[in-house]
Amino acid sequence: MKIAVCIKRVPDSETRVKIGSNGKSLDEAGVKFVMNPYDEFAVEEALRRKEKAGTGEVVVLSLGPAAAQETIRTALAMGADRGVLLQAEKSPTDPFEAAKLIAAALKPDSWDLVLFGRMAIDDYNHQVGAIVAELLGLPCVTAVSHLDIDGAKGVAEREIEGGIEVVEFPLPAVLTVDKGLNEPRYPALKGIMAAKKKPLEVKAVEPGAGSLETVALAPPPDRKEGKIVGEGVGAVGELVRLLREEAKVL
């Protein structure tokens, strides 16, 4: 099994968001960066598929700043075989531009599977995987939470509103993965040592401007100061009155 996994370096979900002085981007000072959590599921799935097949290669690819090498090393420490960094100042705002660069880097090889996260937890775009699939001409299933592969045929489950969709697809394919697919492993010390010696190729890329332009990044409007209605059962009557008369939701 030859598998590519696309991983993005993102701010940790606990990060306190401070807006940069340009009013358009995150102030990165003091921010801790991690591998996008959904991409961890993708790396884990790739490793398990390769282990099951008994042979193959897992290649991780990231588009981003030089510091994304750390993210790649984390995946190598989990067990991936080699890494590729498409180095740019930052990941482009327009996911189509990111997808173009990623697709171009994947194109020369042939892959059994190309895995992505369902979404990146910084931009919440939900689309790079599906666009790459289209650009590579491969079938794509998004938000996979259960996966069976038998030879060149796959069956995946994905959550939709009010149910679970079961889909069949042929390999090679692009999958974007959701939580629930597996439990990602932690890199062991041995893995961390080994990762230092694994190949990591760096290629400079120039993302285009694309068709989405950030004009402002701002904190969400503060929710109107809430109130503690009271303590214990005694407060329930007043709560119901407020929901009915003030909030008008009952």
Ligand X SMILES: Nc1ncnc2c1ncn2[C@@H]1O[C@H](COP(=O)(O)O)[C@@H](O)[C@H]1O
Cβ 140 to another protein, closest distance in Å? 7
Does residue 191 touch another protein according to CB under 8 A?
Answer: no
Show contacts with ligand X in window 87-146 (CB under 6 A): 91, 95, 98, 116-117, 119-120, 123, 125-129
Does residue 29 touch another protein according to CB under 8 A?
Answer: no
Does residue 36 touch another protein according to CB under 8 A?
Answer: no
Does residue 7 touch ligand X according to CB under 6 A?
Answer: yes
How far is residue 139's CA from residue 170's CA, in Å, rounded to a whole number? Answer: 7
Give 235's DSSP letter: G
Cβ distance to another protein smaller for residue 53 or 212: 212
Give just the sign of the alpha carbon dihedral 230, 236, 238, 239.
Answer: positive
Burial of 163 (0-12, 13-18, 19+ CB in 10 A): exposed
Judged by DSSP in three states, 141 sits in strand
Token pair 């340009």 is found at: 22
* Total residues interacting with another protein, rule: CB under 8 A: 84
Question: What is the dihedral angle through the alpha carbons of 71, 77, 80, 85, rounded to the nearest 10 degrees?
Answer: 30
How far is residue 58's CA from residue 212's CA, in Å, rounded to a whole number? Answer: 32
Pattern of binders to ligand FAD over 17-56, x per CB under 6 A? --------------------x-------------------
Return residues touching ligand X (CB under 6 A).
6-8, 36, 38-39, 62-64, 91, 95, 98, 116-117, 119-120, 123, 125-129
Return residues touching ligand FAD (CB under 6 A).
13, 37
